[in-house]
């Protein structure tokens, strides 16, 4: 838990220097990568090393380049994350939230001092008071001071609780961005470039179990897409957008909005809207199966408009892949929804890296749809 002293001592200005230092790390990594490529890899390939030893040496050097690139990608992602937090771009808490909480803590510290009291690291507030409980005026004065101390302590503990949550949030996001020693190489989306290890096999089994449990719950599409990913063919998958419109209320609302606010304002003739993002919402009765199988995907409309009459097709697309560390797509503590199976997205992405599974494209085009605007 964040203590009151720690919150007061937070070096807010130092955060800017901290962010700048990651820029230096990025520059050094790029320099190291460049020197390694020019002075080791290029001469190695130019000398045409042959045989198993030569292939092993080239493979080893390529692996080093892969590691440097992966690390640099995550360093850049970490720098962007911290920059946004320090500048308050995301407005999601983090450093911006801690700065505000520090100001609140400073105000509480001054208020406690004005009342000649002491605030402790756990947020409790105490005071020294000599009084005679037998004298009503003295007892009443003590009770009033105790009430003030209790109120200040309650406010201080609330600030510390929020600061602790912000601190945990930052720590969680840093872990996600940097991944683990096992999965950080998944930054490279190439297929089957590393040998699988025990962690990959365990991850494969866990995801396979998720698919089995999804099928048992009747989530046929979740089970289908997981099975296709683990099958590692990489073949594209087609899904009828009309099925999604019927099963995802939010998608239907988004499509209606596109018709009303985009298509309706276009001149007569052929049209093609830009790609937009949509996703199921469980809170509005959205289909759980599509929530856990696709979640976010993109759609657009292509057709022809004549007056208030329009005939169009809905097209959808999505890359079925899992989040590499720098993409910052966490699943660390939530579990797989109601299935309660915890899986790191970067571990799942690493299955593509080791050939145990394969990313693939999802797309689809509906039959013509006629509508009156």
pLDDT reported for residue 335: 47
- Mean pLDDT is lowest, of 169-173, 266-270, 280-284, 327-331, for 327-331
Mean pLDDT of 228-244: 97
- Mean pLDDT is lowest, of 69-83, 118-132, 161-175, 343-357, for 69-83
User: Confidence class of residue 332 from pLDDT cuts 50, 70 and 90?
Assistant: very low
* Helix H or strand E encompassing 92: none
Mean pLDDT of 309-323: 94
Residue bearing the bigger pLDDT, 288 or 334: 288
163-186: per-residue pLDDT in tens?
998 888 777 677 666 666 666 666
- Mean pLDDT is lowest, of 48-52, 119-123, 244-248, 342-346, for 48-52
Of 49-63, 113-127, 320-334, give the range with the top mean pLDDT. Answer: 113-127
Helix axes 220-231, 198-216, angle to 10 degrees: 150
Q: Give the tokens for residue 16.
A: 């800017």
The mean pLDDT value of the chain amounts to 85
DSSP 3-state of 304 = strand
DSSP 3-state of 206 = helix
pLDDT reported for residue 333: 40
The secondary structure of 115-147 as a DSSP string is TT-EE-TTS-EE------TTSHHHHHHHHHHHH
pLDDT reported for residue 334: 42
For the full predicted model, state whether its pTM sits above 0.75.
Answer: no
Backbone angles phi, psi at 181, to 5 degrees: -55, -25
The secondary structure of 1-14 as a DSSP string is ---HHHHHH--HHH
Q: Give the tokens for residue 321.
A: 């892949």
User: Confidence class of residue 203 from pLDDT cuts 50, 70 and 90?
Assistant: very high
pLDDT reported for residue 198: 93
pLDDT reported for residue 249: 93
Mean pLDDT of 48-69: 75
Question: Strand (E) positions, 157-268?
Answer: 237-238
Q: Give the tokens for residue 299.
A: 């759609």
Q: Is the pLDDT of residue 86 over 70?
A: no
% of the chain beyond a pLDDT of 90: 51
pLDDT reported for residue 85: 63
Q: Is the pLDDT of residue 313 over 50?
A: yes
Residue 89 DSSP class = S
Q: Is the pLDDT of residue 235 over 80?
A: yes
CA angle 285, 346, 181 (to 5 degrees): 155
Q: Is the pLDDT of residue 199 over 50?
A: yes
State the CB neighbour count (10 A cutoff) for residue 178.
17
pLDDT reported for residue 326: 64
pLDDT reported for residue 366: 97
Backbone angles phi, psi at 75, to 5 degrees: -60, -45
pLDDT reported for residue 125: 96
Give the Cα separation of 91 and 89 in Å (integer).
Answer: 6
């Amino acid at each position: 838990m964040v203590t009151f002293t720690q919150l007061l001592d937070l070096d807010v200005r130092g955060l800017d220097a901290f962010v700048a230092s990651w820029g230096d790390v990025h520059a050094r990594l790029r320099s190291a990568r460049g020197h390694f490529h020019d002075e080791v890899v290029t001469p190695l390939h130019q000398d045409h090393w042959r045989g198993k030893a030569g292939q092993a040496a080239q493979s080893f050097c390529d692996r080093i380049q892969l590691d440097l690139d992966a690390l640099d990608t995550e360093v850049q992602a970490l720098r962007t994350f911290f920059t946004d937090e320090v500048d308050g771009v995301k407005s999601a808490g983090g450093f911006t939230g801690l700065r505000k909480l520090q100001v609140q803590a400073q105000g509480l510290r001054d208020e406690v001092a004005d009342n000649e009291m002491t605030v402790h690291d756990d947020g409790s507030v105490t005071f020294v008071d000599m009084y005679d409980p037998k004298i009503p005026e003295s007892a009443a004065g003590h009770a009033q001071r105790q009430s003030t101390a209790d109120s200040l302590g309650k406010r201080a503990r609330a600030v510390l609780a929020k600061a602790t949550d912000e601190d945990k949030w930052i720590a969680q996001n840093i872990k996600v961005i940097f991944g683990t020693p096992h999965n950080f190489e998944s930054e490279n989306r190439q297929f089957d470039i590393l040998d699988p290890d025990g962690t990959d096999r365990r991850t494969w089994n866990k995801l396979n179990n998720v698919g089995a449990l999804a099928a048992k719950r009747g989530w046929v599409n979740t089970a289908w897409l997981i099975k296709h990913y683990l099958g590692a063919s990489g073949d594209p998958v087609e899904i009828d957008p009309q099925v999604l419109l019927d099963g995802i209320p939010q998608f239907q609302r988004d499509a209606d909005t596109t018709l009303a606010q985009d298509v309706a304002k276009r001149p007569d003739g052929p049209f093609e809207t830009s790609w937009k993002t949509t996703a199921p919402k469980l809170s509005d009765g959205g289909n759980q199966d599509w929530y856990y199988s696709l979640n976010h995907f993109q759609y657009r409309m292509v057709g022809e408009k004549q007056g208030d009459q329009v005939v169009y097709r809905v097209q959808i697309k999505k890359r079925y892949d899992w989040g590499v560390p720098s993409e910052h797509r966490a699943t660390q503590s939530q579990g797989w929804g109601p299935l309660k199976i915890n899986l790191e997205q970067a571990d799942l992405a690493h299955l593509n890296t080791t050939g145990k599974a394969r990313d693939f494209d999802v797309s689809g085009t509906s039959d013509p749809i006629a509508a009156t605007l």
